[in-house]
Amino acid sequence: MKPGSAEKTWLALIALTLVGAWLAETGEAGTPLMLTVAVLIGVKGRTVIDRYMEMREANPRIRRVLYAFNLAIPLMVIASHWFGDAIARLTSIA
């Protein structure tokens, strides 16, 4: 990573976090907001994986596992929004 690049990346991650928090507080709940938040989660995760964990140069198998995990998290956000009641019924004890 070039000098100063880590700081710029960190500031971009902070900005994306603030955008996500602002949207969560001011946006109208629904599919467009959920999709936006899921995209923000994916972008931030991929940025951390590539920039801070330096997975671009890592073993391709390890990199693919992390990329798959990073894809799974936003997909779980989407699934919990669309199928939240069904997931709650399936996972409840009572």
Entry pTM = 0.82
pLDDT per residue as tens digits for the range 40-54: 999 999 999 999 998
Q: Which of 79, 74, 64, 63 is nearest to 41 (CA)?
A: 74
Calpha distance 59→35 (Å, rounded) = 31
Q: Which of 44, 54, 43 is nearest to 1 (CA)?
A: 54
Calpha distance 40→24 (Å, rounded) = 12
Calpha distance 85→88 (Å, rounded) = 5
Give the model's confidence band at 3: pLDDT under 50 very low, under 70 low, under 90 confident, else very high.
Answer: low
